[in-house]
C-alpha cells in the first residue's frame, strides 16, 4: 500500500502527488491523508477517474482517503474526455458573480442574463469553470442556481474551485457542479478550443 501525506498542502498539490504516484508506481492500493474537505473531494473524484474504488473516513479535522484499483482496470488516462466530431469546445471561466465594474446591482443582473444566454452556444458550450467570487453562483440563494442545475442535468460539466469554496466557507453549501482543483482547471483549458474569461 502506498501512503501519501498531503496534510498542510494547498490545491492542487494533493492531487498532483496522487497523480504522480499512480503514473510512476502504479499502486494497487493508495492511502492519502489530507486536512481539508476540498482536497478530500478532489482526490476522491480523481481516483474514481483513474478506475479506483474509493472510500473516505474523517477523524477530527483530517481525512483518510483509501483507493483500491478496480479488478481488470489498467492505467487510466488523466486527459479530459474529447467531444467526437468537429464541434468546437468553448470553456467559460467565471471569476466573478457579476459582470463589469461600476454598479454592482447592474453587474449582477448582467451576469444572470449572461448565464441564461450561454445556452445559445449549443453543443459548443463545453465547460463552465467557476473560481474566486464565481463560486458564489453555485450556492442556495444564487439567482442562477436553477439555470446552472438545468445545464448540469443536460450534460454540461461545471467545475467549481474547491480552494475558493473553502476560502468563502461555502464548501458544504454548494448546490451544483463538481468541486475541483487547479490541475483539472488547467487541463480543461488546455483541451478547450476557446476560453472565454470573465473577471
Q: Residue with C-alpha cell 444566454?
A: 117
Position 78 pLDDT exceeds 80: no
Please compute the mean of the pLDDT values over residues 21-35 and round it to a whole number: 93
Rounded Cα distance between 75 and 24, Å, is 11
Rg (CA), the chain: 18
198 or 82, greater pLDDT: 198
Q: For residue 115, what pLDDT band results from cuts at 50, 70 and 90?
A: very high
Q: DSSP readout, the chain?
A: -EEEE-TTPPTTHHHHHHHHHHHHH--SEEEEEESSHHHHHHHHHHHHHTTEEEEEEEETTEEEEEEEEPTT--PPP-SPPPPSTT---EEEEE--SSSSSS-HHHHHHHHHHHHHHGGGGGGGEEEEEE-GGGGGGGBTT-TTHHHHHHHHHTT-EEEEEHHHHHHTT-GGGB-SSEEE-HHHHHHHHHH-SEEEEE-
Across the chain, mean pLDDT equals 90
Q: Which tens digits make up the pLDDT trace of 145-167? A: 999 999 999 999 999 999 999 99
Position 74 pLDDT exceeds 90: no
Domain spans, the chain: 2-69, 90-198
90-198 belongs to which CATH class? alpha beta
Instruction: Give residue 75's pLDDT.
Output: 52
Q: For residue 82, what pLDDT band results from cuts at 50, 70 and 90?
A: very low
Rounded Cα distance between 15 and 21, Å, is 10
Position 81 pLDDT exceeds 50: no
Record the cell numbers describing residue 134, joined without a space. Answer: 464565481
Instruction: Give residue 80's pLDDT.
Output: 43
Pick the CATH number of 2-69 from 3.40.50.300, 2.60.120.1600, 3.20.20.60, 3.30.110.40: 3.30.110.40
Rounded Cα distance between 98 and 109, Å, is 7
Q: Which tens digits make up the pLDDT trace of 164-190? A: 999 999 999 999 999 999 989 999 999
| Least confidently predicted of 38-42, 166-170, 172-176, 193-197 | 38-42
Position 103 pLDDT exceeds 60: yes
Instruction: Give residue 179's pLDDT.
Output: 93
Q: For residue 83, what pLDDT band results from cuts at 50, 70 and 90?
A: very low
Write down the pTM of the prediction.
0.71
Amino acid at each position: 500500500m502506498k501512503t501519501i501525506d498531503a496534510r498542510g498542502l494547498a490545491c492542487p498539490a494533493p492531487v498532483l502527488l496522487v497523480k504522480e504516484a499512480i503514473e510512476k508506481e502504479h499502486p494497487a492500493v493508495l492511502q492519502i491523508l489530507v486536512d481539508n474537505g476540498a482536497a478530500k473531494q478532489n482526490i476522491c473524484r480523481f481516483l474514481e477517474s483513474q478506475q479506483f474504488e474509493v472510500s473516505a473516513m474523517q477523524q477530527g479535522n483530517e481525512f483518510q482517503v483509501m483507493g483500491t484499483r478496480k479488478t481488470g482496470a489498467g492505467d487510466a488516462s488523466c486527459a479530459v474526455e474529447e467531444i467526437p466530431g468537429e464541434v468546437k469546445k468553448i470553456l467559460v471561466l467565471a471569476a466573478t458573480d457579476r459582470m463589469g465594474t461600476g454598479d454592482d446591482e447592474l453587474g449582477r443582473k448582467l451576469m444572470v442574463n449572461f448565464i441564461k444566454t450561454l445556452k445559445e452556444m449549443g453543443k459548443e458550450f463545453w465547460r463552465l469553470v467557476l473560481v474566486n467570487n464565481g463560486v458564489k453562483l453555485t450556492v442556495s440563494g444564487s439567482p442562477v442556481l436553477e439555470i446552472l442545475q438545468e445545464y448540469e442535468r443536460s450534460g454540461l460539466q461545471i467545475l467549481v474551485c474547491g480552494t475558493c469554496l473553502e476560502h468563502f466557507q461555502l464548501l458544504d453549501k454548494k448546490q451544483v457542479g463538481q468541486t475541483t482543483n487547479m490541475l483539472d482547471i488547467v487541463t480543461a483549458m488546455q483541451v478547450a478550443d476557446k476560453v472565454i474569461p470573465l473577471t
